């Protein structure tokens, strides 16, 4: 099992703010980048918070991510816009795009913004939540490096292609954020680190056959030899593989197709990211009394939670509950940070010239004890 | 195995036009209803074409479907609208709603229309295709009688809740239309008729446990004893059950929540349907040169089809291909109609006072040979 240390959220926040400032980002930019990353750690989504720092750090070093690039609105109407991120941080383009979608939704009922030439933008849910925090229905999409193998294929042609949606409700917003692959690559890496075989129905080997061999699958993904992760629904039509593949396509349409950006199969090649995003904001007030609509959704969510449980199941969740509970726990107890991730954070600190001990204290000493560095970015 | 007869599409078309006219629908209304039903048969989606006639016929008889009800726009802005279908045929409300969404998209870039108090509207894809036929990106959603059991639950709380999307492309449009359950109830009924056990990962018994017993599952669904169909992703989080459940919620939001209509768990009770729909049309021209966007999508679809196949697989489909090929075949060879369905059509003909032999000729004689009437509406 992987070793973890617990670090308070405010420490992670301070660290990110300082580290990105040292990399040359403006304070307002550091705030956005940090907010997106920290939300992931607060939600307990380890794969998209601090664990991603190394990718941003390496991306900036290699020039895939351009510090100081300003996302540019290249086409705009009262309800739509296209933004060229000019290879800047995905969080900055994403934040600007959803802000614009929200503004349009407040004025015209709906705002749809599609972004091209961007980079990894963190969790899609952050942007959907920007809209629900503003009282709107929000959706966010992003393509990514190809990892999903289409039904009956053997080469990854779509990204993990998450679709996120958030909408105001009581006692907490409806909040759904998930990849359209059956799992994300992070899960495969987790099984790999644990030395456990992958569950059936997750991954394909280089010939497009189902495989539970995590090291082999991951090595083939890195080498682009073929194979990858199955769409939600697996690799046969019996369990709906073509549906997960279809949801992946919806994500691609709102991100790379409408923006005329790179489809997933072209991203992250030749020193260029090319990642694309999509954002939708919709004002419930254009459909009726927004308070009544919020109440209507809240009632349904309550009915779902209170509906009869399967034999052996303790509770039924509605989407967003787990994130609220994780946030309460993590704010109280600190965020669990894998020592490998901490090692990367220390390297990042050294790279930008700040003292890691100042932030992480004695936890830094744990690193030398750990031998579980996967080295697999 | 079920017995089939083949009937030419124009015969089915004539029959529907006449039968609905006899029920009191205007000619323009008959045209819309027939078009929606026939598209399903042309696409080879047996469950939503002629097989549905009996439900419409019974719905009208029982008063769940009101002939002559006019869908009414109860709220409207430049980009949005809410329609009250006043318990009329779902096809009529759906057609009007998507027409309105298309008009708004052509003028304002985006149109979103949500419909309440409607009935079953046929295949969601029909409405998405209305938009793609008009050069737009189209989406359609509908809730339905509760059939999907939420993750960890044992009572059906969501409908089969399909999400359809269509977008112009060459040589054929991208067209995706699928329930957010792993399969539809029609598939369960098919296995039931064949006397075969259900594949693993499809259905739940009344205690919320996985079941392959089709007659038991179907009987419990009809009696509302509990159980039902799993979300796409099955009934455990390992294979992404919460994701299928989440997509089902997206469908619910665009249909029953925004329209302030009935959520699936309240529909089809006490002589009231209450089904809700949602429609989105988006004009690609608001994002860029629509021809370039169409070409961009077409290229990606071609790359997907031409990408390397899994060992043992012959081809990779893109969504919409199978429907185009089925249409070509069925227009040439006729539509396969189950003899049980034909029996229902004959009953329908007798009910409205038209001579079934005039339409179906000697095929009608096949009915008396068949004993496979499931009686399960």
State whether B90 and B120 are in the same domain.
yes
Whether residue B253 and residue A183 make contact (CB cut-off 8 A), yes or no, is no
Q: Enter the tokens of residue B100.
A: 């309105």
> Is residue A126 a contact partner of residue A156, using CB atoms and an 8 Å limit?
no
Q: Is residue A315 part of a domain?
A: no
Indicate whether B138 belongs to any domain. Answer: yes
Q: HSE on the CB side for A348, CA within 13 Å?
A: 29
Cβ distance A258 to B293 less than 8 Å, yes or no, reads yes
CA B62 to chain centre: 22
Domain, as residue range, for B43? 4-62+334-369
Whether B286 sits inside 8 A of A315 (CB atoms) is no
pLDDT tens digits, residue range A75-120?
Answer: 999 999 999 999 999 999 999 999 999 999 999 999 999 999 999 9
Residue A140 three-state SS: strand
- What pLDDT, on the 0 to 100 scale, is given for residue B369? 55
Smallest Cβ–Cβ distance between A110 and the set B112, B233, B296 belongs to B112
Does residue B128 share a domain with residue B267?
yes
Domain-located, residue B275:
yes
Distance, in Å, from the CA atom of B129 to the CA atom of B126, rounded to the nearest integer, reads 5
pLDDT digits (tens, 9 = 90+) for A122-132: 999 999 999 99
According to DSSP H, which parts of A43-145 are helical? 53-62, 90-108, 124-133
My answer on whether B84 and B48 are in the same domain is no
Residues A32 and A51 in one domain: yes
ipTM field? 0.96
A139 and A165 Cβ atoms separated by less than 8 Å: yes
% of chain A with per-residue pLDDT over 70: 97
Mean pLDDT, range B200-227, rounded to an integer = 95
Pair (A273, A358) in one structural domain: no
pLDDT of residue A193: 79
Same domain flag for B234 and B85: yes
Q: How many domains does chain A have?
A: 2
What pLDDT is stored for residue B59 in this prediction?
95
Distance (Å, whole) CA B119 – CA B97 = 14
The model's pLDDT over A226-268, given as tens digits with 9 standing for 90+, comes to 999 999 999 999 999 999 999 999 999 999 999 999 999 999 9
The CATH code of the domain that includes A104 is 3.30.1370.60
User: Do B270 and B351 fall into the same domain?
Assistant: no
Cβ-Cβ contacts under 8 Å between A and B: the total is 259
pLDDT band at B340 (very low <50, low <70, confident <90, very high): confident
Q: What is the pLDDT of residue A368?
A: 67
**Which residue of A187, A231, A310, A319 is the best one to mutate when testing the B interface, meaning the one whose CB has the most B CBs within 10 A?**
A310
Distance from CA of A43 to the nearest CA of B (A): 16
Boundary residue ending a domain (A253, A286, A319): A286
Average pLDDT over residues B278-305: 98
Q: Which among A114, A155, A308 has the least Cβ separation from residue B226?
A: A308
Q: Strands, E, within chain B: which ranges?
A: 4-7, 72-76, 80-84, 110-118, 137-142, 163-167, 174-178, 203-204, 210-211, 228-229, 275-282, 335-338
User: Full-prediction pTM beyond 0.90?
Assistant: yes
* Tokens, residue A53: 């720092």
- Name which of A118, A116, A113, A119 is nearest A140 in CA terms: A113
In a domain, A376, yes or no: no
Query: A249, A241 in Cβ contact below 8 A?
Result: no
User: Which residues are CB-neighbours of A334 under 8 A, at least 6 positions away?
Assistant: A6, A7, A8, A9
User: In terms of domains, do B99 and B248 share one?
Assistant: yes
User: Are B84 and B178 within one domain?
Assistant: yes
Confidence of residue B48 (pLDDT cuts 50, 70, 90): confident
């Amino acid at each position: 099992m992987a070793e973890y240390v617990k670090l308070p959220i405010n420490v992670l926040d301070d660290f990110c703010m300082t580290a990105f400032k040292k990399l040359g980002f403006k304070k307002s930019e550091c705030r956005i980048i940090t907010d997106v990353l920290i939300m992931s750690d607060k939600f307990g989504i380890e794969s998209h918070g601090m664990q991603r720092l190394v990718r941003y750090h390496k991306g900036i070093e290699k020039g895939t991510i351009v510090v100081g690039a300003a996302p540019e609105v290249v086409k705009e109407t009262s309800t739509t816009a296209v933004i060229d991120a000019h290879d800047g941080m995905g969080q900055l383009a994403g934040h600007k795009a959803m802000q614009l979608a929200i503004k349009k939704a407040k004025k015209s009922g709906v705002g749809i913004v599609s972004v091209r030439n961007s980079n990894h933008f963190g969790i899609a849910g952050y942007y959907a939540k920007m809209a629900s925090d503003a009282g709107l229905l929000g959706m966010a999409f992003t393509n990514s490096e190809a990892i999903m193998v289409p039904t009956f294929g053997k080469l990854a042609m779509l990204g993990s292609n998450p679709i996120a949606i958030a909408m105001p409700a009581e006692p907490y917003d409806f909040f759904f954020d998930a990849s359209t692959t059956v799992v994300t690559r992070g899960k495969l890496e987790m099984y790999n680190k644990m030395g456990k075989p992958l569950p059936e129905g997750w991954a394909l080997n280089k010939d497009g056959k189902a495989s539970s061999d995590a090291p082999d699958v991951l090595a083939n993904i890195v080498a682009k030899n073929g194979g990858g992760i199955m769409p939600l629904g697996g690799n046969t039509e019996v369990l709906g593989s073509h549906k997960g593949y279809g949801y992946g396509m919806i994500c691609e349409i709102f991100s790379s197709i409408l923006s005329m950006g790179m489809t997933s199969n072209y991203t992250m090649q030749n020193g260029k990211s090319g990642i694309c995003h999509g954002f939708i904001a919709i004002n419930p007030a254009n459909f009726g009394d927004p308070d009544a609509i919020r109440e209507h959704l809240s009632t349904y969510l309550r009915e779902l939670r209170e509906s009869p449980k399967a034999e052996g199941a303790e509770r039924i969740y509605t989407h967003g509950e787990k994130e609220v509970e994780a946030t309460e726990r993590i704010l109280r107890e600190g965020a669990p940070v894998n020592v490998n991730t901490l090692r990367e954070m220390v390297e990042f600190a050294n790279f930008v010239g700040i003292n890691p001990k100042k932030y992480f204290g004695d936890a830094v000493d744990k690193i030398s004890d750990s031998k579980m560095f996967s080295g697999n970015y």
